[in-house]
Homo-oligomer: A and B are copies of this chain.
């Protein structure tokens, strides 16, 4: 048997020498989670998949993270760091831009969008966003009591929009379940839906989002001014 060639390519890869497989940490875990959410198309977050990617067993993650629900909170806040809270224009334009930025960040991955009603956003970035919205509403002349409730309503609108969008795997497309349902609305039994069917399906996502923001802002101003 010939001697082993000492210059042969090593096929065993020491995991120590593998370049920059960094030691486990909260940050590494959260970043891997976000990476998977943006690449793995729509698949739900999984501790086991994260562990595998980081070359450990799932139990090891529990040293750095309390469990799935804490991880979700960390991931959500990390993602919210991308929300732009400063832009230019009137307070109304800046509010709209902020909400669009918020929705855009959440819509970047379906898994993130689905997370939005499972975890309450209470991290530093949620704080930053809410503070900015309160600032803008104050500029718009909305009193503090109404503004304080309004931030929740605006947030619900953003969250519901992205969550709805993430859920429908094409429900709104031509021939999809929504169109089929509308087709089932007869003039006799559901006259109003029947009559409005084209209007119900009209508009792009962004048009409808802007329309929603307009409705909310009008409502908030109207209420604030009546008091």
Residues of A within 8 A of B (CB): 114, 117-120, 122-124, 126-128, 130-131, 134-135, 138, 144-145, 147-153, 156-157, 159-161, 163-164, 166-168, 171, 177-178, 180-181, 184-185, 190-193, 195-196, 199-200, 202-203, 208, 211-212, 214-220, 222-223
Contacts and interface: CB of A to CB of B under 8 A. Distances in A.
Given A192-B134, A218-B223, A185 B120 contact: no
Contact of A223 (B149, B199, B215): B215
Among A114, A126, A212, A215, chain B packs the most CB atoms within 10 A around the CB of A215
Most B CB contacts (10 A, CB to CB) among A148, A159, A171 go to: A148
Nearest to A208: B149
Contacts of A223: 211, 214-215, 218
A203 to B, nearest CB: 7
B117 A163 contact: yes
Given A157-B156, A214-B223, A219-B214, A196 B117 contact: no
Contacts of A131: 185, 190-193
Contact of A222 (B119, B145, B164, B222): B222
6 contacts: A134-B196, A148-B200, A149-B199, A156-B160, A214-B223, A219-B220
Copies of this chain, complex-wide, total 2
B219 A120 contact: no
Contact of A127 (B127, B150, B185, B220): B185
Contact of A138 (B152, B166, B192): B192
A123 B161 CA distance: 21
A144 B215 contact: no
Contact of A181 (B122, B159, B180): B122
B149 A211 contact: yes
Contacts of A117: 114, 117, 160, 163-164, 166-167
Contacts of A119: 167
Contact of A126 (B150, B153, B181): B181
Report which residue of A149, A161, A208 has the largest number of chain B beta carbons within 10 angstroms of its beta carbon. Answer: A149
Given A120-B168, A149-B203, A211-B223, 6 more contacts: A118-B167, A138-B192, A150-B215, A153-B215, A215-B216, A218-B219
